Amino acid sequence: MKIVLIGYMGSGKSTLGKALSDKLNYTFKDLDTEIELKEEINIATIFSEKGEIYFRKKENEVLRNIIATQNQIVLATGGGTPCYGTVMDYLKESDDVVTVYLKTSLDVLTERLYSEKEKRPLISHLESKEKLQDFIRKHLFERLFVYNKAALVISVDNKDVSKVVEE
């Protein structure tokens, strides 16, 4: 089985993915990290030097390669991964893939992302918490219809990692 975690930036895909993979004895993969290894530069530099379209193309390629070649994995995707091209349909049609949307509230996302926005090129320029929250509100709304196509939706607000892993 391949468990693919999707959800907005800051929803805990990497933290929960690692914990889930330990529990299942599966391999953990983080899509952003795999892209950085392949490109040999970090995500912020890919965005600034090569642009978002280039990043989305690589994201798509690396994701499809992992799904086609790996098994017994938990894959933490980037917040935008399922929202571009035919990625969500591809995941839903792939054998042995279970998509899980980690649903997080606007307030929790704002608090978390405000302290970690520097490494995220889409939000690093937003100076105040209010501006960040306005951005997330609109952006999340645009992406929700894709996230909600996941096979499983788990609310993660105010839950311990172990509780979410159990669910």
Query: Which residues contact ligand S3P by CB under 6 A?
Result: 9, 13, 32, 43, 78-80, 120-122
- Residue 8 CB, nearest distance to ligand S3P (Å)? 7
- Residue 162 CB, nearest distance to ligand S3P (Å)? 21
Read off φ and ψ for residue 121, nearest 5 degrees.
-60, -25
Closer residue to ligand S3P in complex, CB, 43/87: 43
- Residue 146 CB, nearest distance to ligand S3P (Å)? 11
Q: Which residues contact 155 (CB under 8 A, 6 or more apart)?
A: 103, 104
Name beta bridge partners: 75. 4, 29
Name beta bridge partners: 100. 5, 152
Residue 106 identity (one-letter amino acid): L
Closer residue to ligand S3P in complex, CB, 73/78: 78
- Residue 95 CB, nearest distance to ligand S3P (Å)? 25
| 166 Cα distance to chain centroid | 20
Closer residue to ligand S3P in complex, CB, 9/165: 9
- Residue 138 CB, nearest distance to ligand S3P (Å)? 13
Q: Report yes or no: 15 and 7 within 8 Å, Cβ to Cβ.
A: no
Closer residue to ligand S3P in complex, CB, 2/13: 13
Closer residue to ligand S3P in complex, CB, 2/120: 120
* Residue facing ligand S3P at closest CB distance: 78
Q: Report yes or no: 99 and 92 within 8 Å, Cβ to Cβ.
A: yes
DSSP 120: -
Helix (H, G, I), strand (E, B) or coil at 150: coil
